[in-house]
Amino acid sequence: MITILYACGKDAKEIQFTEINTNTTQDISSIDIYNNQLIAVGGEVFQLGVVLSGKDLNWVTQDSFTNKRLFGLDCNDDHCAAVGHDGYYYTYTENDGWTFTRLSDWDFQRAVSITNNHTVSISGKSFGQGHIYHINPIHQIDTTLRVNAQMQDVASLDDNTFVAVGYGTVLRSNDGGYNWTHIDQEGDFYYSIDFVDDQHGIIVGLSGSILLTNDSGKNWKTIKKPSSLSSSRAQFLSVKYINATSIYIVGDEGLLWHSNDAGQTWISYKVNTDHNLNDLSELDGKLYIVGDDGYMALREL
């Protein structure tokens, strides 16, 4: 059973972040780390895609190179990948910069996960339609799985194991993203997933559910049911591990939750902003949050 030490909404404890001037008013969708630097992507769906990069308070908005918003971003030691509307797919390395590919399926690409040998992206246009794609090394879709649910996020545990989540749906692959097995888990629009190692992971739902696994995503334990957040209209949008015990969730209207015991109990905070918070990342002992209207802020941990 979950313990919430501070209530949601107006009773949540306020927490102060230092806002960063990003020089953009576009929504920022996702943020990650590459080569000891933060990279963020976002934009406006049919008009503009933006990429930002930097460290601490020294951020530079790069010139937009796409007319479609970028939604998903994932980076490893080798490169980054970003996906967006109408099958837009980008990869980035320090030497080559950003490389564009238009995927053969022009669906609404929402998230991407990369490992040393595999790339998996997911898409969804409506609650009843989604896809999972395996993208080969020459940036072509070689395997497609149609799912009767909007897919929203995907994460890797190791080089071959992925878990994807969406509307009332959790799927798992142990062969690099070519084949998928449905996990019996319903009850929310599962919106974000993260793993801290090859065993332990967390899923959060749009309506406030929290699920934990300790067996590589084969089974999930419900820590919190989707109830209290939906009644207050606040929604979970992203979850990230800082380490094996520290986990943060961000969401609507400055919502921020923190667990310091691997997700068993949580404290509810209200960030000093009313922006929707879409994602978060940690670098050099600082927590960075990003959201709508170009919002970005940091706080020392």
Q: Where are the domains of the chain?
A: 3-34+107-300
pLDDT in tens, 60-101: 655 566 778 899 999 999 999 999 988 899 999 989 988 999
Nearest to 204 by CA among 229, 175, 232: 229
pTM of the complete model beyond 0.85 = yes
CA angle (52, 109, 258) in 5-degree steps: 60
Per-residue pLDDT at 233: 59
DSSP state, residue 114? E
Residues of the chain with pLDDT > 90, as a percent, come to: 72
**Number of other residues whose CB lies within 10 A of the CB of residue 90:** 23
The structure tokens listed for 148 are 């009767």
d(CA 294, CA 189): 25
Spatial neighbors of 264 by CB under 8 A, at least 6 apart, are 2, 3, 223
Q: Which fold has domain 3-34+107-300?
A: Methylamine Dehydrogenase; Chain H (2.130.10)
- Parallel, antiparallel or unpaired: strands 119-126 and 129-135: antiparallel
CA neighbours closer than 13 Å in the CB half-sphere of residue 275: 21
Averaged confidence pLDDT in the chain? 90
**Number of other residues whose CB lies within 10 A of the CB of residue 117:** 9
Per-residue pLDDT at 127: 76
CA neighbours closer than 13 Å in the CB half-sphere of residue 300: 0
Q: How many residues does the chain have?
A: 301
d(CA 92, CA 105): 21
CA neighbours closer than 13 Å in the CB half-sphere of residue 105: 23
Rounded to an integer, the average pLDDT of 14-41 is: 92
d(CA 149, CA 301): 37
The more confident residue out of 63 and 106 is: 106
Residue corresponding to tokens 């949601």:
8
**Number of other residues whose CB lies within 10 A of the CB of residue 98:** 14
Per-residue pLDDT at 7: 43
pLDDT in tens, 145-199: 999 999 999 999 999 999 999 999 999 999 999 999 999 888 899 999 999 999 9
Per-residue pLDDT at 62: 59
User: Would you say 106 and 124 are in contact if contact means Cβ atoms under 8 Å apart?
Assistant: no
Nearest to 180 by CA among 152, 147, 139: 147
- Could you give the 3-state DSSP secondary structure of residue 191? strand
d(CA 301, CA 284): 9
